[in-house]
């Protein structure tokens, strides 16, 4: 079953993308030509330009970030918050149907 995810821009505009289970949120956003996620490194955890703020209840459902992701979260262009994640590390599953994230004002 495809998973529907919502990307809410800093201006409040929402982009809805559909993902396959096992795909990352970043891949789903890129595949849909969504704006607001740059993903300069293509998911290699070296850019932090795929930063998103994950809304509840989803933020609590995600596995906590690994050390590599935590380290890269220190390099986000917009302020890092407790619900900040790198979308290339969010692996989508059917339990995340309706996943909603806020996009930062800037990725650079
Ligand atoms: Fe570069 Fe996520 S795409 S860290």
**Is the C-alpha dihedral spanning 65, 21, 99, 106 positive or negative?**
positive
Residue 78 belongs to a domain: yes
CB of residue 37 inside a 6 A radius of ligand 1? no
> Which pLDDT score is estimated for 15?
98
> Which pLDDT score is estimated for 34?
98
Q: What's the gap in Å between 104 CA and the centre of ligand 1? A: 14
Residue 107 belongs to a domain: no
Which of the listed residues 29, 31, 45, 80 should we mutate to test ligand 1's pocket, taking the one with most ligand atoms within 8 A of CB? 45
Residue 28 belongs to a domain: yes
Give the C-alpha separation, 25 to 27, whole Å: 5
Quote the domain boundaries for residue 77.
3-102
pLDDT tens by residue, 2-38:
999 999 999 999 999 999 999 999 999 999 999 999 9
Residue 8 belongs to a domain: yes
Q: What is the largest CA-CA distance in the chain?
A: 34
Confidence of residue 87 (pLDDT cuts 50, 70, 90): very high
Is 0.85 topped by the overall pTM?
yes
Ligand 1 atom 4: residue of nearest CA? 45
> Which pLDDT score is estimated for 80?
97
Residues 6 or more apart from 24 whose CB is under 8 A from it? 43, 87, 88, 89, 90, 91, 92
Q: Please name every residue paired with 93 in a beta bridge, in sequence order, or none if there are none.
A: none
Find the CATH number of the domain harbouring 82. Answer: 3.10.20.30
Residue 72 belongs to a domain: yes
> Which pLDDT score is estimated for 56?
98
> Which pLDDT score is estimated for 90?
98
Residue 60 belongs to a domain: yes
pLDDT tens by residue, 28-74:
999 999 999 999 999 999 999 999 999 999 999 999 999 999 999 99
Q: What's the gap in Å between 5 CA and the centre of ligand 1? A: 18
| Residue whose entry in the numeric block shows the structure tokens 């821009």 | 9
Residue 39 belongs to a domain: yes
What's the domain count of the chain?
1
CB of residue 30 inside a 6 A radius of ligand 1? no
């Amino acid at each position: 079953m495809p998973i529907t995810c919502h990307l809410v821009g800093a201006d409040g505009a929402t982009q809805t993308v559909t993902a396959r289970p096992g795909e990352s949120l970043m891949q789903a956003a890129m595949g849909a030509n969504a704006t607001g996620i740059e993903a300069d490194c293509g998911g290699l955890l070296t850019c932090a330009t795929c930063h998103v703020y994950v809304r509840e209840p989803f933020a609590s459902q995600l596995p906590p970030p690994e050390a590599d992701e935590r380290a890269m979260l220190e390099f986000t262009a917009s302020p890092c918050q407790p619900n900040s994640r790198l979308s290339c590390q969010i692996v989508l599953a059917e339990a995340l149907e309706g996943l909603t994230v806020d996009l930062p004002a800037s990725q650079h």
